Chains A and B, each alone.
Chain A
Amino acid sequence: MAAVILSKTAATSVIDLEDVSIGYGKDAPPVLVDVNLSVERGSFVAIVGPSGVGKSTLLRVVAGLHAARSGGVTIHQDQRPGHRPVGLVFQDSRLLPWRRVIRNVEFGLEGLPVSRDERRQRAEAALKLVRLDGYARRWPYELSGGQRQRIGIARAMAVDPDILLMDEPFGALDAITRHNLQDELRRIHQETGKTVLFVTHDLEEAVHLADRIIVLGGTPARVVRDVRNSAGRDGSVFRDQVEQLRSEIADNYSI
């Protein structure tokens, strides 16, 4: 079983996956094989593919929550003190219900060599980044689904991660809220220059947000396409890109 290697050497990529294969249980067939992927610093990479293909599992491996069966996972960690290599955003916001919003955002900063004052300042800055700076003293149950997701993003951004990992973060939201949060995420990415690895099954979301799209497919799954994307939300280009991806996924995915 291969664990995540934290490398302190400077590199243009933030994470490097080399021949990674992933499975559950010792004898079960692998879910994902031969994954080779380098994510460049500052880029926004989306991983798409049908349900059950192993997108979320891949993200969990990068986050260190699940060990790869074989292959190498390297995160090139920056030298700056007081930060964590990854910041994870879940589909279910996963806030601690017994902590007020501000203390939820501080959660990942605890245990880092950061003073209490700095911790509070960074949490407040993260709340401001997601435009919820008036909500610091609220309890999680007082928030809407979209607000909770924003707090989840703030919690991940507060640890100033080398890479922001997002696991279908807007999958459970209504269409209008999802659109708003997609725009917010684009703004946050542009403002902070954070590297983002974003898992989604929604092709339109991927084409709208990412500058690179990795398509997973097949059984066991592997990377079937690696697309540079600059369509954004630009009318016909956007539609073409979505349709092209859709047909490629259909070609590579036999039911």
Chain B
Amino acid sequence: MQTDKPMKSYQKVALSALGVLVFLLAWEAVARSGVVPARLLPSPSAVPAAFLTEFKSGTWQEMVLASLSHYLVGLSLGTFLGVSFGTAAALWGKWDAFQAWVVRMLRPIPAIAWIPFAIIWFGVSEGAASFLISLTVFWINYYASYAAVRGVDKDLIELGHAFGQGGLIPRLFKIILPGALPGILSGMRAGLGQGWMTVVAAELFGISGLGMRMMEASGLLATHIVVLYMVTIALLYGVSDFLFMQVQSRVLSWQR
């Protein structure tokens, strides 16, 4: 297979922008052609007007802030616990064996299935939404960290022993965690995206936020407002992913 010539970064940005533009134009064309009724498919050009209305009333800001707070709390908690438990299971065989079947039983249950318990335990509250988000994020980070720690080059651990850095603390902080960092970070990044998906699901049952507002709007068949909040989530995800990538490339600058 012939490999592509390396692209300049401005070319990449231009191509990405072109992709988004073509997507929006195609959507607009379908919506305007009348093939699909406007109620079923709002045109993207209706979104700015919807945004202005929602923004002037202050609803948009309120919903974004509410979702952002659920998201950040759930993400931090889920990431921290997922990385910790995943690393611990990869490091200690006995602990791994002890928790292996518990993990297998809990893993396939999706966050949405926990909604009844979230409401019973936390009520229809911020806490319930954060709990559901952290659950989703936890599993992604658990498995990514487990694999990353398991994959650390055994020769480097031997190097640590040869140079007096074989004790648990130096081994963990000087060899295992830096060695597992690329894998742990890609788990974090996947969690970042899954977290936003869960935000919507977690808010559908009435916790204030983007999901709740989408549910309200769809009840009134105000599909242009639903699309507005879809676009909002897409942008929030895009920004968080972009910011994370910036941090990641700085942290991993030792990689080729």
Contact = CB atoms under 8 A, between A and B. Distances in A.
Interface in A125-171: 139-141, 155, 159
Residue from A90, A99, A107, A108 with most neighbouring chain B CB atoms (10 Å): A107
Given A96-B175, A98-B181, A141-B254, A88 B156 contact: no
Interface in B224-256: 253-256
Given A65-B162, A108-B164, A111-B170, A97 B254 contact: yes
28 contacts: A63-B162, A64-B161, A65-B161, A84-B164, A86-B162, A92-B155, A94-B156, A94-B159, A96-B156, A96-B159, A98-B179, A98-B181, A98-B254, A100-B254, A107-B165, A108-B163, A108-B165, A110-B165, A110-B170, A110-B174, A111-B164, A111-B170, A139-B254, A140-B254, A141-B254, A141-B255, A141-B256, A159-B163
A102 B175 CA distance: 16
Contact of B178 (A88, A98, A139): A98
A112 interface: yes
Nearest to A84: B164
Contacts of A92: 155
Interface band, chain B = 10 to 19
Interface string B60-85: 00000000000000000000000000
Contacts of B178: 96, 98
Nearest to B155: A94
A139 B253 CA distance: 9
A90 B163 contact: no
Given A90-B159, A141-B255, 16 more contacts: A65-B161, A84-B163, A84-B164, A86-B162, A88-B162, A92-B155, A94-B156, A96-B174, A96-B178, A99-B254, A100-B254, A107-B163, A107-B174, A111-B164, A140-B254, A141-B256
A86 B162 CA distance: 8
Contacts of B170: 110-111
Interface band, chain A = 20 to 34
Interface string B149-163: 000000110110111
Contacts of A90: 155, 159
B137 to A, nearest CB: 25
Nearest to A86: B162
Nearest to B179: A98
A100 B179 CA distance: 14
Contacts of B156: 94, 96
A97 B174 CA distance: 11
Nearest to B254: A98
Contacts of A98: 178-179, 181, 254
Given A96-B178, A98-B181, A112 B254 contact: no
A73 to B, nearest CB: 15
Interface string A57-78: 0000001110000000000000
A65 B163 CA distance: 10
Closest 7 A/B residue pairs (Cβ): A108-B163, A88-B162, A98-B254, A98-B178, A141-B256, A94-B159, A139-B254
Interface string A97-122: 11110000001101110000000000
